[in-house]
Structure 1
């Protein structure tokens, strides 16, 4: 840490890099007042702020102490905000904030920047990987359908459902970014925030409370930076061994139907690790499509004899996964139990708060109440783990209303962003307390600061079943990379997408291309979609079955390599799917590549994410790259290569110690 100052300016530096540059003429700190309104409709938020005041904190005084430096920022001679600057025991720079009063509820602070900076992270960003040049509101919500205001799908979603979304709407935001100057910057707050990367000389970070602190960590390379990063935020555990044995098949329709589908798939040569039956607790049909009965108990009418068959499947090498979310369906047993125990969030008038999830209402179990947290963990243990489930989708987490009353007395506006972390913690601890961390898999779409040490894997959310760049197949790739740069190195997606609305229907080609991409991710898992009968399914024709079989052979063939890079993620925070610049940091082109990725250090994947393509253009960093299907060697640069369905653009490093394993990929087709 180094602080240089004169009577009119100061600079805070860390490891030789300027972090904060403040002067009377160009202040780095502003305070203000505002009144926000949050209107939520089924997880989509219309947020507005009436700003009444924004004031620059130009004046300052500095006091150097033995263990910190205190900087008092003032307006007209009165201290309004104090910075306590320290170097942590881990070698990071920490700037804690102390407000002189409660008069201000808005802050803007400017982190020094260079015009050449590239910026990554901020959670799951699906439209942009390099965030430079845009601003990003950070609020967990439904990401929206279409996510591009210029598309027909988004327009229709907005007009009909208030649910169109935009480039920044996401299930998983986080007020943390990584700079190409090789530092991470984290703002510790749960309030609504906006990170603005549109300015050449600074990045402006705004939030709607006085944050706890600003934290910086720096290293000389990206691998060490991710280790530093994950030392602070936490790391995902390794995947259970059984995950690598094949695809997790998304199946709905009952016990016998599930067993039949698994056997059908196996006979077709598809390697299956598990059946994922999200309707294990029952079904609801709404105008949206096939929904679930949100009462987290086995439904013997839909799944007769599952209490016995689930164990038979496991003996046969097939795990069984289900579904849960943080809400309980009104007037069903678990809702009634939570209500009787007083564990539901309240309205201002003291009545229970119920949320509209699309033609049915649910109670919000109050996770700020230790008894509510304990009760939900017991539900997971009793109804799911003890029943025999080997994993589940831990869905939602984004819907906490900002006007509900919580047990801890804290504003729900400030708890909203933290809800996904609380939800992940409940799932993780229920599994850990049962001694099953190494054997149970759960996956989430929602997230926020601190989810890294609790969430076993993320999935990309509810992509549209189409080729759109912002909400279709392509969007999964920047989503995986941005979450990787936010400390979540295990990521996957619904094969084929999920959302069928406003004329979008999954065709065969989309399903096949999505399957190709999934074979080169840490987890393969399919989904029928919200309207299964409108979507092409893998079992609809022999060609689709054969294609899935070959891709599962490819995936399982990579098991030794996948296990190794997943272990790296668990041990040092090095993500499984990595941006190209993580290993080729001197190559400037790599910093703007958002639709390709490295799978570990040695495999490069450039998924075909547009329809009707037989050739594909891609970029190879300078190295010796072997084309997985022909053996042809390339030395780098932009190339165009044949990419028929079944042979996606995949390359491996010739010098890899795993080259013999990779040589065998072509034999799996």
Structure 2
């Protein structure tokens, strides 16, 4: 929201106040409180009028500083609030100097001017990050007496802003107005399902605005030198989060708001759905599954979309007995084929659902201010909405899920949760404006915790569309309703990159697009992108997404990339654990890995899958792709073995079985022995692919087992013509090491050499802990 009219004027109908000087302050045990009047006070008489800003500076963890600015503190603050983690024992260092008040939190500090115009500046060590100066923070009143609290933080020359949720527009947010308001709007607009009031910049800091209601961001728009954010009401609360690099910023942000849960390993395989409005029954479903098996395409999860329930009855959690007369036996037969089962749900109760009357009578549905049930015909005729602030309503909803779990359902696709009205009354008295975005958190938390309770922590996951800050704790999330076009494929990727920079570790999208029909060409290109994402699902609107409806080559392409992903699972699972332990996403924007390369600050048509694999999807019917390799050495195409110098752009053409899948120099990528499924013993017969070891730089690799424990750990260093490998093992499982594109070796101790087309393969001796190779 904009409040000014250029540099000199205020917009018509707006009255605005700014803190002008630091008049007084208090130093408490863990915080600094400053008092700043909205005028330059010249005599005692001028202290009679306000506003007087009360601004608190504190720290919940090292390297995070919290700022809260109050106007009126007597306002009743209704919930909900984001669930924020805090170290109650942590005490930042506070200094009272002649010219400054200083709060130090780890390597992050804020310096508050005691003299002159009101200003405070954030530093990482001695490097300035950003500041709030004269006419930055503000309090405004519009012509309708509605109040707003505002903050503006400086942007430096060349500073770029990223994040703010799964946004499908330009990846770099400079020049955009962004409103935090969840909407069911597809991927083609500036609206999104997942609004996260958190941004990062290429100056290695992030800002999290701790408000679940609508937050309005003006990013180098109203003031082209600043990021401005504003909220309705009498206070604003935000955290400035620092780090040595962007990865550390995300680590600190997810320490504050929560880190992702680890999805079960089976979930990383191929998902196939019935699609949305297609006709299907058990015979159709079985034909898809058998068709995949006959064509040797590994399939791991089958999803039943909306019409597993009878039309006009969503949701009643009952199988449509016209097409699924015996669902228990059907699910048993499907699970005997080794499949996991997913079914679609949403938080809405149609008037014709048998649950509507029950929900109405027991007070489980959202109500209007007059006490009647809030209803709409938009989506399901006469539908009401479950009130997840009511513990009894949560238990009621959960109990129906438990019946399905006992029947054989393994995971729920938690669709919707964005169309939440504000003209309603909540059971716990929550503010409906705040609940609009926060509703999805309670909805998905309810479903996730139900699965956790019934199936155990190791098998708990959802497949969610809507989200807010903290929702990363309940993975997996998918990108929503994209179109079957290359343009939509590219915007989908931009959304995933932006979401990853908000701490969401796991992300998926509808392969070949949800709405409209894909061409065989698009289907095959999107398959490669989809299988090189953390989670991979074939889904659509009115078309079945089985490959043989496109062409026979699509069958071969899908098989190839499913096999590849299964082989990559030792690597992918390690990166999934990193997402859980550090909040670093599996699908990473190039700037997250290569901040030192300025070209990477702008890239949004390629990404890193983990830290070692660069993926450049092909967005062209010609098969041509233009991509950039960061300047860190010689890269190797994992599929073709071709080597490329970093620091250059390339324009190439690829067939459907290849794309730029480039291994980072100085990396080890473990490749598993199983190409048929994602959940297996990753350490057994694993091959450690070593790419371009660099002089004097140690590289390492960890291979985990299904209990999240390291089965095999390897450290490697090259010094002149000698490669030394140290091995730590917890088992007797065989493994080998492939020195990619290295074809000659003079001597080896600790193993034997086998020469292959890809390079030298080293088969270690049993129980060996050190291997030395002389090249």
TM-score greater than 0.5 by the shorter chain:
yes
* Structure 1 SS opposite 2:308: coil
Contact conserved, 2:264 with 2:461, CA < 8 A, in 1?
yes
Paired residues for 1:518-537 under 5 Å:
518-527=530-539, 529-532=540-543
443, 468, 471: which one aligns with 2:463: 443
1:296 to 2:320 alignment = no
* Structure 1 SS opposite 2:528: helix
- Give how far 1:283 is off: 4.7
C-alpha separation between the residues in 2 aligned to 1:440 and 1:302? 29
* Structure 2 SS opposite 1:276: strand
Contact conserved, 1:109 with 1:204, CA < 8 A, in 2?
yes
* Structure 2 SS opposite 1:239: coil
In the other structure, the counterpart of 2:630 is: 621
Contact conserved, 1:120 with 1:130, CA < 8 A, in 2?
yes
Contact conserved, 1:281 with 1:293, CA < 8 A, in 2?
no
C-alpha separation between the residues in 1 aligned to 2:537 and 2:243? 36
For structure 2, list consecutive stretches of 5 or more residues without a partner in the other structure: 1-6, 40-46, 76-144, 671-686, 691-737, 741-756, 758-775
Contact conserved, 1:249 with 1:272, CA < 8 A, in 2?
no
- Give how far 1:467 is off: 2.3
The 1:61–1:499 alpha-carbon spacing in structure 2 relative to 1, beyond 3 Å, is farther
C-alpha separation between the residues in 2 aligned to 1:355 and 1:661? 57
C-alpha separation between the residues in 1 aligned to 2:412 and 2:15? 47
1:76-129 C-alpha deviation (Å, 9 max, x unpaired): 542443111113343411112333255763122111221221111111111122
In the other structure, the counterpart of 1:162 is: none
In the other structure, the counterpart of 2:753 is: none
RMSD: 2.7
1:524-543 C-alpha deviation (Å, 9 max, x unpaired): 1111x22227x895544322
C-alpha separation between the residues in 1 aligned to 2:149 and 2:550? 55
The 1:110–1:296 alpha-carbon spacing in structure 2 relative to 1, beyond 3 Å, is same
Higher RCO structure (Cα 8 Å, ≥6 apart): 1
- Give how far 1:435 is off: 4.1
In the other structure, the counterpart of 2:440 is: 420
The 1:254–1:293 alpha-carbon spacing in structure 2 relative to 1, beyond 3 Å, is farther
The 1:211–1:488 alpha-carbon spacing in structure 2 relative to 1, beyond 3 Å, is farther
Scaled by the length of structure 1, the TM-score of the pair is 0.82
In the other structure, the counterpart of 1:10 is: none
Contact conserved, 1:118 with 1:180, CA < 8 A, in 2?
yes
348, 362, 385: which one aligns with 1:364: 385
- Give how far 1:566 is off: 0.5
In the other structure, the counterpart of 1:152 is: none
- Give how far 1:60 is off: 4.2
- Give how far 1:497 is off: 1.2
In the other structure, the counterpart of 1:15 is: none
Contact conserved, 2:411 with 2:451, CA < 8 A, in 1?
no
Contact conserved, 2:63 with 2:252, CA < 8 A, in 1?
no
In the other structure, the counterpart of 2:25 is: 63
1:59-90 C-alpha deviation (Å, 9 max, x unpaired): 54230313322122334542443111113343
Paired residues for 1:543-622 under 5 Å:
543-610=553-620, 612-622=621-631
1:337 to 2:358 alignment = yes
In the other structure, the counterpart of 2:44 is: none
C-alpha separation between the residues in 1 aligned to 2:211 and 2:584? 25
In the other structure, the counterpart of 2:207 is: 185
The 1:62–1:432 alpha-carbon spacing in structure 2 relative to 1, beyond 3 Å, is farther
C-alpha separation between the residues in 2 aligned to 1:371 and 1:196? 41
216, 225, 232: which one aligns with 1:194: 216
1:458 to 2:458 alignment = no
In the other structure, the counterpart of 1:635 is: 645
In the other structure, the counterpart of 2:65 is: 93
633, 644, 651: which one aligns with 2:662: 651
Paired residues for 1:254-333 under 5 Å:
254-279=281-306, 281-284=308-311, 293-333=314-354
Please identify, of 113-122 and 655-664, the stretch whose mean Cα deviation from structure 2 is larger: 655-664
- Give how far 1:621 is off: 0.2
In the other structure, the counterpart of 1:473 is: 489
- Give how far 1:257 is off: 1.8
For the pair shown, the structure with the greater C-alpha radius of gyration is 2
Contact conserved, 1:236 with 1:456, CA < 8 A, in 2?
yes
The 1:82–1:334 alpha-carbon spacing in structure 2 relative to 1, beyond 3 Å, is same
1:109 to 2:151 alignment = yes
C-alpha separation between the residues in 2 aligned to 1:51 and 1:509? 55
The 1:629–1:537 alpha-carbon spacing in structure 2 relative to 1, beyond 3 Å, is closer
In the other structure, the counterpart of 2:373 is: 352
- Give how far 1:642 is off: 2.1
Paired residues for 1:52-201 under 5 Å:
52-67=14-29, 68-75=31-38, 77=47, 78-100=50-72, 105-144=147-186, 147=188, 166=189, 168-198=190-220, 199-201=223-225
C-alpha separation between the residues in 2 aligned to 1:428 and 1:142? 22
C-alpha separation between the residues in 2 aligned to 1:485 and 1:115? 21
Contact conserved, 2:481 with 2:513, CA < 8 A, in 1?
yes
For structure 1, list consecutive stretches of 5 or more residues without a partner in the other structure: 1-25, 33-49, 148-165, 286-291
C-alpha separation between the residues in 2 aligned to 1:387 and 1:336? 25
1:582-610 C-alpha deviation (Å, 9 max, x unpaired): 22211000010011100001110011123
Paired residues for 1:391-410 under 5 Å:
391-410=411-430
Number of residue pairs aligned between Structure 1 and Structure 2: 585
Scaled by the length of structure 2, the TM-score of the pair is 0.71
1:22-54 C-alpha deviation (Å, 9 max, x unpaired): xxxx99xx999xxxxxxxxxxxxxxxxx96543
C-alpha separation between the residues in 1 aligned to 2:315 and 2:299? 27
In the other structure, the counterpart of 2:719 is: none
1:422-445 C-alpha deviation (Å, 9 max, x unpaired): 112111211122243322431111
* Structure 2 SS opposite 1:438: helix
1:352-385 C-alpha deviation (Å, 9 max, x unpaired): 1112334623111111222222222222222x22
Contact conserved, 1:280 with 1:302, CA < 8 A, in 2?
no
In the other structure, the counterpart of 1:497 is: 513
Please identify, of 191-200 and 361-370, the stretch whose mean Cα deviation from structure 2 is larger: 191-200
- Give how far 1:171 is off: 0.5
Contact conserved, 1:187 with 1:211, CA < 8 A, in 2?
no
In the other structure, the counterpart of 1:158 is: none
C-alpha separation between the residues in 1 aligned to 2:601 and 2:24? 38
- Give how far 1:630 is off: 2.3
1:450-493 C-alpha deviation (Å, 9 max, x unpaired): 2122x21110110012222xxx1111211111111101010010
* Structure 2 SS opposite 1:416: helix
C-alpha separation between the residues in 1 aligned to 2:427 and 2:37? 36
The 1:405–1:551 alpha-carbon spacing in structure 2 relative to 1, beyond 3 Å, is same
Contact conserved, 1:124 with 1:482, CA < 8 A, in 2?
yes
* Structure 2 SS opposite 1:174: coil
1:202-257 C-alpha deviation (Å, 9 max, x unpaired): 21111223455211121112222221111111111212122234444445612222
C-alpha separation between the residues in 1 aligned to 2:197 and 2:235? 11
In the other structure, the counterpart of 2:90 is: none
The 1:488–1:250 alpha-carbon spacing in structure 2 relative to 1, beyond 3 Å, is farther
365, 380, 398: which one aligns with 1:377: 398
* Structure 2 SS opposite 1:598: strand
C-alpha separation between the residues in 1 aligned to 2:547 and 2:67? 53
C-alpha separation between the residues in 2 aligned to 1:301 and 1:185? 53
In the other structure, the counterpart of 2:520 is: 508
Please identify, of 368-377 and 398-407, the stretch whose mean Cα deviation from structure 2 is larger: 368-377
